[in-house]
Amino acid sequence: MPILFLDFDGVMHPEHCHESKHFCCLPILEDALRRVPECKLVITSTWRLENSLAALRSRFSRDIAARVEGVTPMFSELKQVPDTLVNYPREAECHAWRWANGVPHLPWLAVDDRSWNYRPFCSSLLLVHGATGLTGANGAQLVTRLQQLL
C-alpha cells in the first residue's frame, strides 16, 4: 500500500493563483488515484496548519477523501530529525509521519512543486511546475510511479 504525500499550492492549482482557481487540478489527481486504489493520502501542504482534517478532506470527492489518512507534523515540532534530513523539511515531515504511524517500511511518493524541501535527487519525489500545477502529463507519471510502488 503506497502512501502519497500531497502538497496543494503549486500542485492542486498554480501557485499564487486567484482563489477561484483553487483545486482546478484536482480532477487530474483524483483520476490518477482511482487507477491506484491501494494508495493512501497524507497532506503535506501548509493548508494543514490552518484547516482541520475534515476541512481538508472536504476538498476531495467522497471516495478519495476516505483515503486521506492525515497530515504531516510541522517541522518545527519534530523532536528527532535524522542528520540527513535536517535541511529538507518536507521530506523530514514525511519521514516523521511514517515512523509515528508505524509504517516506515511502506513505499511512498511525494508530489510537490518545491524540490528544495527534499534531498537532491530524492527518488520519492514527483516534481511538478508550480506555475501550472498538476498537468495531464504529471497525472500519467503519477499513475506509473504509484503502480511501480505496488
Predicted confidence band of residue 131 (pLDDT cuts 50, 70, 90): very high
Predicted TM-score (pTM) of this structure:
0.96
Residue 15 has pLDDT above 90, yes or no: yes
List the domain range (segments joined by +) for residue 76: 3-148
At residue 62, the pLDDT reads 98
CATH of the domain at 83: 3.40.50.1000
Predicted confidence band of residue 80 (pLDDT cuts 50, 70, 90): confident
At residue 79, the pLDDT reads 86
User: Structural domain tally of the chain?
Assistant: 1
Residue 14 has pLDDT above 90, yes or no: yes
At residue 146, the pLDDT reads 98
At residue 101, the pLDDT reads 96
DSSP string, the chain: --EEEE--BTTTB-TT--GGGTTTTHHHHHHHHHT-TT-EEEE-SGGGGTS-HHHHHTTS-HHHHTTEEEEPPPGGG-S---GGGTT-HHHHHHHHHHHHTT-TTS-EEEEES-GGGS-TT-TTEEE--TTT-S-HHHHHHHHHHHHHT-
